[in-house]
Structure 1
């Protein structure tokens, strides 16, 4: 099967669901990944990962949407860049509604099918929630994309139900949760950490690590309160930041880390955490980091909501401030939970990207 795989972020951005699915699909299909790249930016050379996986980019003009006419012209220019690939494919895989702007020019024949992989509730990101015109535009794009897609995948049950409520109860999204790439974790756990991260660890404290995007959904007020109560807690939040933060006493923000170094970082931690503020965006998230955390065989603390309940045998869940602070007190006193390593590894091995793509491949064969 020939698949044009349209990504909304660079192939070289933090390795996530889109890259893993593309790589695994290429084992049985010919995949051409195409992602946006702004004019004037130099791009890395892409090595041939395997004969069935080709990586390309299309050019975008920064600021093109400030004027409506130029925005429409820009979309047409991008569509022209995509035409030679799309006309020869069987499937066009779309990772974000924004990409549908470039597909409205195509009259897809019965031989070319659209597939939408809905990874997040795109209408609930802060830059969309707080922008009425952007939210309206994104809603229209996603509605059109969903209506024309032969298959819609979603990452969580909550997200599936929201899509059905938003676009019609007859919609039947296929649930494909996130997962873990075990191979990269097995090979990279002994790498050395950059000094900027290593120096954040303290021998006289319980070192609690978070890995991921640092944004408004992190409950930093709760973190600061726990630091004020317990003087043996040291937090290290590693990842790209969407908000301005400075290091505080026992609250560290050393910046992003290469994906291949994440296993070594998790191994270095005493405890791993996911302290999210629950909102509509987070409630729809099936958290990749919990799969990775569990594989590391470290104590894990996470906020409790529908999507984290499935992790309850392996994770300490809290639903409010009181429960979180009680868990922190236990950790400071050395009352770490007993970990069933075999149970952890069994769970992870049943939740790999290879397993997820087997489900996707079956759907493609059946529906396409």
Structure 2
């Protein structure tokens, strides 16, 4: 089996679908994991300048707790220019990265690996690392993803699409973007053992005797904060818990006694929350990004067996028998009353969509290359 050189996000923290799959592939393949090479040019603010400095000097970002690296995965930080736009900048970035990666692959005797990328900005490296084939794992609609240079990244993605031997699309909307003859539909999976095995109750969950509704994930532009505000105000008989990084420049949650923002948590800690609240929430806005998404948290909520209340979006349809769908704040409030005491039993469905089963499918596809 061929080794992998992987371009993904910074390894660790809240693992992406690429991390879940590659960790399982690494049981039979060596993996060189290159920490994020960026999706947008830095802007003139402290955070962006700091990130650009880290990328230029090969440092990884700090944040979530790092998860254990599998024995066959070597994580590497390289110096780069994030999301180069001009032809000169792209060529300079490619030269800079190749000067670092070439000796690494040579020293480890990695010959004709599979180049796997979940970042379109790796397009200019395709064909220059002696790789056997190129795999593009597309988990997001980068043309609508918040916080990236849409035009620049879309141009990189078009080049990568031409060069890729295999494209893996995480949603049906994404699948429709790419050439059918080399694209496979690969929806997200779930770590069944982590989220279904009984976990202790987190100490910082509210302990007031009221039922708890919870959400984990980024506080970003794709959440419906108007709906959240109305529901939290209408249901003072419930506690509302939010977990994850705030990616906005302001605090978006209602400042109420029954609203608790607990900040980011390590991935392994999430079952200690989702198994012990009474309803799991997915209050998305139906924008272009959400139309193309297949959220990891959906299957994780199902594995935790807690009832789910969600706004409608395309990826939800296949799981609709196991989700309470509401389009309005009134609908959310009604569903909160309906789910009290419920348990979401769908073990067979969850096992069918495990990351182990997803990795088996990918392994077959890689071997077919």
Q: State the TM bucket, normalised to the shorter chain.
A: 0.7 to 0.9
Aligned to 2:239: 234
Q: Which piece of structure 1 moves more, 234-243 or 81-90? A: 81-90
Instruction: Name the CA shift for 1:70/1:213 in 2 (closer, same or farther; >3 Å).
Output: same
> 1:356 aligned to 345, 355, 358, which one?
358
Return the alpha-carbon distance in structure 2 between the equivalents of residues 340 and 126 of structure 1: 32
> 1:175 aligned to 177, 185, 195, which one?
185
Whether the aligned pair in 2 keeps the contact of 1:156 and 1:284 (CA below 8 Å) is: yes
SS at match of 1:127: coil
1:151 aligns with 2:169: no
1:127 deviates by 2.5
Question: 1:188-227, CA deviations, whole angstroms, 9 ceiling, x for partnerless residues?
Answer: 712x63x5x33xx142422111011111111111111112
1:324 deviates by 2.4
> 1:317 aligned to 313, 321, 325, which one?
325
Instruction: Name the CA shift for 1:185/1:83 in 2 (closer, same or farther; >3 Å).
Output: same
Return the alpha-carbon distance in structure 1 between the equivalents of residues 319 and 355 of structure 2: 17
Question: 1:158-210, CA deviations, whole angstroms, 9 ceiling, x for partnerless residues?
Answer: 2111x13xxxx5554201110111233356712x63x5x33xx1424221110
Q: CA RMSD in A?
A: 2.8
Aligned to 2:263: 255
Aligned to 1:74: 93
Return the alpha-carbon distance in structure 1 between the equivalents of residues 198 and 210 of structure 2: 25
SS at match of 1:257: coil
Aligned to 1:330: 338
SS at match of 1:209: strand
- Structure-to-structure mapping, 1:215-226, within 5 angstroms: 215-226=220-231
Return the alpha-carbon distance in structure 2 between the equivalents of residues 346 and 313 of structure 1: 13
Q: TM-score scaled by structure 2?
A: 0.83
Could you tell me which runs of 5 or more consecutive residues in structure 1 were left unpaired when the two chains were aligned.
129-133
Instruction: Name the CA shift for 1:31/1:42 in 2 (closer, same or farther; >3 Å).
Output: closer
1:142 aligns with 2:157: yes
Aligned to 2:42: none
Instruction: Name the CA shift for 1:46/1:155 in 2 (closer, same or farther; >3 Å).
Output: closer
Instruction: Name the CA shift for 1:319/1:69 in 2 (closer, same or farther; >3 Å).
Output: same
Return the alpha-carbon distance in structure 2 between the equivalents of residues 29 and 63 of structure 1: 28
Could you tell me which runs of 5 or more consecutive residues in structure 2 were left unpaired when the two chains were aligned.
37-53
Whether the aligned pair in 2 keeps the contact of 1:3 and 1:93 (CA below 8 Å) is: no
1:185 aligns with 2:195: yes
Return the alpha-carbon distance in structure 1 between the equivalents of residues 246 and 141 of structure 2: 20
1:112 deviates by 1.2
> Number of aligned pairs?
341
- Structure-to-structure mapping, 1:273-292, within 5 angstroms: 273-292=281-300
Q: TM-score scaled by structure 1?
A: 0.83
Return the alpha-carbon distance in structure 2 between the equivalents of residues 153 and 55 of structure 1: 23
Aligned to 1:17: 17
Q: Please state which structure has a larger fraction of its residues in strand.
A: 1
Instruction: Name the CA shift for 1:269/1:56 in 2 (closer, same or farther; >3 Å).
Output: same
